[in-house]
């Protein structure tokens, strides 16, 4: 009797087209460019397939491939009917429940930053028209109505939470000022342009969920000439770091549990725990091996939706203390410009030197830790590539190069790794 796997191996390879470029890490992953045609020989897991390109064979991430449109038009039409690339039902479904709103409102640093922006700009907000895009429970709109005197706040919310937002607005006596509009911002009509567009759109590693696209589209459509964006700019910060306890918990554990050698499970552990980034990581400032560096800076006035497809930056860290380089940690900061003459900008920093927020930080583990020494340099690039199909997802590719500072070694170690978030 043949096993399923043998059946698969015997089948003739299927042709797939690459939706976007991919740079393989390690010797068993295959690199390819957008539009390349690959022959898939086997699908050992739902995430990684065994494929061939120009007579070279290796593992490829399944989510980068799609069957040829010409061959499979009917299937594709069916698929597209079934699956929304924005996954709005799931996305807005989760914002229709209290769990996420409780998490966000309990995050004092986050919520207080918005409160502070409004309070410190209350004089300038007088008689202004405000849009609060993705108002959720309406907290930012309520701050505007209570702490300043805008002429109107359009509180836009696509999830079913908006029904409660209306009640909260009424309950707090703000119905004269706040107009709650239920629907996707992209599909709504406002009676006028706005002076201020405020939104809390940031996701893990700044961009995940890509709500920022809705904000940019609303800016182009509804913000009046000279109007203000809050946040006004955003930065992604990166640092090479140690992660001893996470490494011990997920990888070193298999070295000798109960006195037995379980190391054959380590490659599996690497695939299972280190392929995707770890959200909700809290890095100790002491675990930073170098000074953190702002790798990406986005200007919310000039950023374009098309810029989000691929954001690439270079980094150069100078190792400040010897240790084990387990990976990179990323976090973001947003700035809110002041409207008052001489007023200070407000900053919301989600890094390890500020009060922890509900985003915490994002940890990207290398496949193998590397010892580094004071004076070594770590140079490289980071590329945030939006998923061409699943529009709320992206991959983060890091390429790095460690140059030793010690004279007796001519040691240059190079690595590349692509992390899906999540597809």
* Interface residue list for ligand SAM (CB under 6 A): 92, 95, 104, 134-137, 139-140, 156-159, 161, 184-186, 200, 211, 214
Looking at the Cβ atoms of 133 and 288, the one nearer to ligand SAM is 133
Beta-bridge partners for 64: none
Minimum distance, C-beta of residue 253 to ligand SAM, in the bound complex (Å)? 35
Looking at the Cβ atoms of 156 and 206, the one nearer to ligand SAM is 156
- Residues 276/419, Cβ–Cβ less than 8 Å: yes
Looking at the Cβ atoms of 214 and 395, the one nearer to ligand SAM is 214
Looking at the Cβ atoms of 214 and 237, the one nearer to ligand SAM is 214
Task: Quote the strand ranges of 46-107, DSSP E.
Answer: 48-53, 56-61, 65-67
Cα 290 to chain center, whole Å? 23
Query: What residues contact 221, with CB distance under 8 A and at least 6 apart?
Result: none
Residue, CB closest to ligand SAM:
134
Minimum distance, C-beta of residue 92 to ligand SAM, in the bound complex (Å)? 5
Minimum distance, C-beta of residue 285 to ligand SAM, in the bound complex (Å)? 27
Query: What residues contact 393, with CB distance under 8 A and at least 6 apart?
Result: 208, 386, 387, 420, 421, 422, 423
Sign (positive or negative) of CA dihedral 96, 215, 186, 75: negative
Q: Which secondary-structure segment (H or E) carries 153? A: strand 152-157
Minimum distance, C-beta of residue 95 to ligand SAM, in the bound complex (Å)? 3
- The alpha carbon torsion through 327, 237, 88, 107 (nearest 10 deg) reads 100
Minimum distance, C-beta of residue 334 to ligand SAM, in the bound complex (Å)? 12
User: Residue 295, class by beta-carbon neighbours within 10 Å (0-12 exposed, 13-18 middle, 19+ buried)?
Assistant: buried
| Marked catalytic residue, from 200, 249, 347, 407 | 200
Minimum distance, C-beta of residue 278 to ligand SAM, in the bound complex (Å)? 21
Looking at the Cβ atoms of 51 and 155, the one nearer to ligand SAM is 155
Query: Whole-angstrom Cα distance, residue 263 to residue 175?
Result: 63
Both tokens assigned to 393? 């997802």
Query: What residues contact 153, with CB distance under 8 A and at least 6 apart?
Result: 130, 131, 132, 141, 144, 145, 177, 178, 179
Annotation marks residue 200 as catalytic: yes
Looking at the Cβ atoms of 169 and 289, the one nearer to ligand SAM is 169
Catalytic positions are 200, 209
């Amino acid at each position: 009797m043949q096993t399923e796997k043998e059946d698969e191996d015997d089948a003739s390879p299927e042709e797939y087209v690459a939706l976007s470029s991919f740079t393989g890490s390690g010797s068993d992953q295959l690199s390819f460019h957008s539009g390349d045609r690959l022959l898939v020989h086997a699908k050992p897991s739902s995430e990684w397939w065994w494929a061939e390109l120009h007579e070279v064979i290796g593992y490829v991430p399944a989510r980068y491939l799609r069957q040829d449109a010409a061959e499979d038009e009917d299937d594709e039409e069916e698929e597209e009917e079934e699956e929304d690339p924005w996954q709005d039902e799931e996305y807005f479904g989760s914002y229709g429940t209290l769990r996420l709103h409780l998490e966000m409102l309990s995050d004092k640093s986050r919520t207080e930053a918005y409160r502070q922006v409004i309070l410190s700009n209350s004089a300038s907000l007088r008689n202004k028209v405000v849009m609060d895009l993705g108002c959720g429970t309406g907290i930012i709109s309520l701050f505007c109505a209570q702490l300043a005197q805008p002429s109107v706040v359009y509180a836009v919310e696509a999830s079913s939470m908006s029904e409660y937002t209306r009640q909260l607005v009424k309950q707090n006596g703000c119905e004269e000022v706040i107009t709650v509009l239920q629907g996707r911002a992209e599909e709504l009509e406002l009676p006028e342009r706005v002076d201020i567009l405020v939104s809390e759109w940031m996701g893990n590693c700044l961009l995940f969920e890509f709500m920022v696209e809705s904000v940019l589209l609303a800016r182009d459509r509804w913000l009046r000439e000279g109007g203000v964006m809050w946040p006004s700019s955003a930065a992604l910060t990166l640092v090479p770091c140690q992660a001893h306890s996470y490494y011990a918990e997920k990888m070193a554990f298999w070295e000798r549990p109960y006195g037995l050698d379980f190391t054959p499970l380590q490659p599996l552990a690497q695939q299972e725990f280190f392929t995707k980034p770890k959200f909700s990581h809290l890095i100790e400032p002491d675990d930073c091996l170098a000074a953190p560096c702002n790798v990406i800076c986005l200007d919310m006035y000039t950023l374009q939706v098309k810029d989000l497809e691929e954001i690439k930056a270079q980094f150069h860290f100078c190792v400040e203390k010897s240790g084990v380089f387990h990976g990179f940690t990323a976090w973001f900061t947003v700035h809110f410009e002041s409207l008052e003459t001489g007023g200070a900008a407000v900053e919301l920093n989600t890094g390890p030197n500020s009060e922890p927020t509900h985003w915490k930080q994002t940890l990207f583990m290398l496949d193998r830790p590397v010892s580094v020494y004071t004076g070594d340099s770590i140079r490289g690039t980071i590329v945030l590539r939006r998923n061409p199909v699943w529009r709320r997802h992206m991959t983060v590719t890091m390429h790095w190069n460690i140059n030793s500072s010690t004279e007796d070694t001519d040691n240059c170690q190079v690595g590349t790794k692509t992390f899906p978030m999540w597809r």
